[in-house]
């Protein structure tokens, strides 16, 4: 009986590879190269090594082909691609020699075309068909994680005293950026050269492939029309308003419990049934993330063409108008995008809602949830640090979700956390909140939030309505000084807040209510503070809302006199 080898390929250190630079062009190019390394380049390496004697399944993004499905155990193939997705690839080979040949080919391609990108490969022991492939893959993934932990990074030569250094990597410069259609000139290493080639509109071999892939994947979906808009390469093109608003938002979202989900779905299945199941689930989750981002892109285009023209300084250059939104990492459940700072919170919430709505297309029948972190920073704040903040905030939201699951005995749910950095950042997000958001009365911040909840008032739907009321209700709209004064009184505690409302004649109208909150505690709306059942302290319900007033923009648009709900795309 034939014996086979399973191989898994993954990348390591991709956060630093993609977001180690403070230049958006380089981040975009790096993300494209990472996606290529574990997808298209894997397929190219298989064809290069084994010709037609391989089977590469089409993905849900690709058009259906007439290619007959082949099985390695039936058709005497050299290799079969099980799936690519989530930054890794799983393959089967007919023997170890084929697996090693393929690994050499893909490794050389990565070294040549994506210098600086680190890949890790793990091979299983040889196994016979029908020997529970799911268990073999589980063990192989554990071996891969062990290899990633033990990875011994190379130490590159840093050059001589007479060589220039790359401004982004510190490595030896081999060229200058202006040769790759960058407006400014600075020395770049080989790693940065390849990243810039991926976004170079004058690249003779392949004109800006990163942008082509983005447009084909996100901006040419059903009902989408990019029109005269162009997706930006620079943060200055995200819609900043001179003298008024110069903030960008970096949104990082990640699906909940995906590793366990794949493991559970593959349980108790025969080898071929397991392969089919993994392809179905991987493809469906990849499509869910793409569909959700397409809905976000559609809403941004819709708003830019209508309601946002007066509020955004849409950048125009060479007859093109730049959209205030740019996906950087996309596909699967791991998504990162950058946008105008005033859109960050609303677009993050919209993405989570649309991702949840894709559950009907997921073959395991389970709910689809995710968490998001939103870092809102000055436009020229170091991009790498802003991304690290968004990632930490996403982790914070996930910890909140796990803690609430254990406390309330509930299922996974979507959650979001954010931080608005009006100036620099000093310390970790937990340290910042202890230092800046704790007062004698209790905790000023209510973050993280549920995306939506019928039982918990700390949810995005209620929160956004409170922010909207502060911005539009006659008691507060047009009186910025009064709102700022309220914020300072909230710092002083319940009694000072009550006195403030009495002075302004608001002791009967109270503070804006949380519409769906299952609380009849009128004192909460009179003083802004309430006991936190999670901790032995009080929590403020309004400080975050006041802080977010300038960074919240409703995604509702008038159509025939009606308002569309924020999670519906026409």
What confidence tens digit (pLDDT) does each residue in 114-153 have?
A: 999 999 999 999 999 998 999 999 999 999 999 988 877 7
**What confidence tens digit (pLDDT) does each residue in 239-287 have?**
766 555 689 999 999 999 999 999 999 998 999 999 999 999 999 999 9
Please check the confidence at residue 567 and state whether its pLDDT lies above 60.
no
**What confidence tens digit (pLDDT) does each residue in 7-46 have?**
999 998 899 999 989 899 999 999 999 999 999 999 999 9
Mean pLDDT calculated for residue range 200-204: 91
**What confidence tens digit (pLDDT) does each residue in 423-434 have?**
777 788 999 999
Interatomic CA distance for residues 56 and 70, integer angstroms: 9
Please check the confidence at residue 563 and state whether its pLDDT lies above 50.
no
DSSP-based three-state secondary structure for 200:
coil
Residues with Cβ within 8 Å of residue 265, at least 6 apart in sequence: 277, 278, 281, 363, 364
Interatomic CA distance for residues 449 and 414, integer angstroms: 9
Q: pTM value?
A: 0.93
Element at 92 (helix H, strand E): strand 88-93
Cis peptide before 420 (omega within 30 of 0): no
Cα 367 to Cα 55, 238, 356, 361, 460: the distances in Å are: 32, 33, 7, 10, 19
Confidence of residue 509 (pLDDT cuts 50, 70, 90): low
Here the tokens at position 72 are 């390695």
**Distance in angstroms between the alpha carbons of the first and the last residue of the chain:** 56
**What confidence tens digit (pLDDT) does each residue in 91-121 have?**
999 999 999 999 999 999 999 999 999 999 9
Confidence of residue 568 (pLDDT cuts 50, 70, 90): very low
Mean pLDDT calculated for residue range 490-503: 92
Which domains are delineated in the chain? Answer: 3-149 (3.30.70.270), 156-206 (no CATH), 208-436 (3.30.70), 438-570 (no CATH)
**DSSP per position, 296-328:** HHHHHHHHHHTTTTTT----EETTEEE-SEEEE
């Amino acid at each position: 009986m034939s014996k086979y080898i399973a191989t898994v390929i993954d990348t390591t250190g991709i956060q630093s590879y993609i977001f180690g630079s403070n230049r958006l062009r380089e981040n975009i190019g790096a993300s494209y190269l990472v996606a290529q390394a574990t997808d298209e380049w894997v397929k190219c390496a298989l064809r290069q090594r084994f010709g037609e004697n391989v089977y590469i399944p089409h993905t849900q993004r690709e058009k259906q082909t007439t290619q007959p499905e082949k099985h390695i155990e039936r058709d005497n193939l050299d290799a079969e691609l099980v799936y690519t997705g989530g930054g890794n690839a799983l393959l089967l080979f007919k023997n170890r020699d084929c697996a090693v040949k393929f690994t050499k080919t893909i490794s050389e391609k990565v070294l040549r075309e994506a210098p600086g990108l680190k890949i890790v490969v793990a091979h299983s022991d040889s196994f016979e068909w029908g020997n529970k492939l799911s268990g073999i893959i589980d063990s192989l993934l554990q071996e891969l994680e062990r290899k990633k932990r033990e990875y011994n990074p190379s130490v590159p030569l840093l050059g001589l005293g007479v060589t220039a250094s790359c401004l982004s990597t510190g490595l030896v410069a081999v060229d200058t950026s202006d040769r790759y259609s960058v407006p400014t000139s600075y020395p770049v290493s080989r790693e940065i050269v390849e990243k810039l080639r991926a976004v170079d509109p004058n690249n003779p071999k392949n004109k800006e492939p990163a942008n082509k892939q983005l447009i084909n994947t996100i901006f040419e979906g059903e009902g989408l029309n990019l029109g005269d808009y162009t997706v930006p390469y620079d943060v200055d093109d995200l819609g900043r308003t001179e003298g008024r608003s110069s903030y960008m938002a970096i949104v990082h979202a990640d699906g909940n419990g995906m590793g366990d989900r794949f493991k559970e779905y593959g349980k108790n299945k025969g080898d071929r049934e397991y392969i089919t199941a993994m392809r179905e689930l991987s493809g469906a989750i990849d499509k869910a993330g793409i569909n959700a981002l397409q809905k976000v892109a559609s809403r941004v285009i819709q708003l830019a063409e209508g309601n946002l023209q007066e509020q955004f300084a849409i950048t125009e250059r060479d007859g093109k108008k730049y959209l205030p939104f740019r996906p950087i990492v996309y596909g699967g459940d791991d998504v990162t995008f950058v946008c105008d700072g005033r859109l960050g919170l609303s677009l993050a919430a919209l993405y989570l809602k649309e991702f949840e709505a894709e559950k009907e297309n997921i073959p395991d029948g389970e709910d689809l949830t995710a968490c998001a972190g939103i870092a809102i920073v000055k436009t020229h704040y170091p991009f790498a640090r802003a991304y690290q903040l968004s990632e930490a905030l996403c982790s914070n939201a996930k910890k909140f979700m796990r803690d609430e699951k254990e406390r309330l005995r509930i299922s996974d749910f979507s959650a979001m956390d954010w931080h608005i950095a009006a100036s620099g950042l000093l310390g970790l997000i937990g340290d910042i909140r202890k230092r800046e958001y704790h007062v004698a009365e209790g905790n000023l911040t209510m973050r993280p939030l549920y995306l939506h909840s019928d039982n918990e008032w700390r949810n995005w739907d209620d929160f956004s309505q409170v922010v909207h009321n502060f911005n539009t209700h006659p008691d507060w709209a047009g009186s910025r000084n009064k709102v700022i004064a309220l914020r300072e009184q909230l710092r002083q505690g319940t009694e000072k807040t009550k006195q403030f409302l009495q002075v302004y004649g608001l002791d009967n109208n109270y503070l804006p209510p949380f519409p769906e909150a299952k609380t009849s505690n009128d004192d909460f709306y009179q003083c802004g503070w309430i006991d936190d059942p999670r901790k032995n302290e009080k929590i403020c319900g309004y400080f975050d809302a006041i802080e977010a007033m300038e960074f919240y923009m409703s995604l509702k648009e008038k159509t025939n006199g009606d308002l569309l709900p924020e999670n519906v795309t026409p």
